[in-house]
Amino acid sequence: MAFFVIYIREAHPTDEWLVESNEHDNVLYTQPTTMEERTEVASACALRLDLTIPMLIDDLDDSTDRQYYALPDRLYLVGRDGRIVYRGLPGPFGFIVAELEKAIESYLAEEGRIPARPPRGTRHPDRCSSGGRRGL
């Protein structure tokens, strides 16, 4: 399983829709017009957010954003066959990591790669009765 952040067009550039929080946090960029500029802004974003997962950068035609309707941000799970398994609601309020986690667990269980999570209140087969994890 691989995780990526895909940097799409700048949501609040100074030359379009500057928001007060960006001014306060000194996140002040114009909308990039070249891939070099977009890459520079995306790199600054990755550093500022201290990302530990790879970042991919959408093209200047915003083809990824248009295909997945990602603006302002959104969580997706894409299956091995390329089909969308989970599509979160638009962020920031629809950015619910716990929902994505459940979707990942369900998808892997369907593939037979991990057991499905038991209903709440039942003992999970690979947990000790004391609640600790058994060796893998």
Mean pLDDT of the chain: 83
Q: What does pTM read for this prediction?
A: 0.70
Confidence band (pLDDT; 50, 70, 90) for 87?
A: very high
Percentage, residues of the chain above pLDDT 70: 83
Q: According to the model, what pLDDT value does residue 124 have?
A: 39
CB-CB contact of 32 with 81 (8 Å): no
The strand pair at 55-57 and 84-87 is best described as unpaired
DSSP state of 59: -
Length of the chain: 136
Q: Where is pLDDT greater, at 110 or 122?
A: 110
Of residues 9, 14, 68, the one with CA closest to residue 42: 9
Confidence band (pLDDT; 50, 70, 90) for 118?
A: low
Say whether pLDDT at 132 is over 90: no
pLDDT digits (tens, 9 = 90+) for 13-30: 999 988 898 889 888 999
Q: According to the model, what pLDDT value does residue 13 have?
A: 92
pLDDT digits (tens, 9 = 90+) for 36-83: 999 999 999 999 989 999 999 999 999 999 988 877 788 999 998 989
Measured in whole angstroms, the distance separating CA 114 from the mean position of its chain's CA atoms is: 22
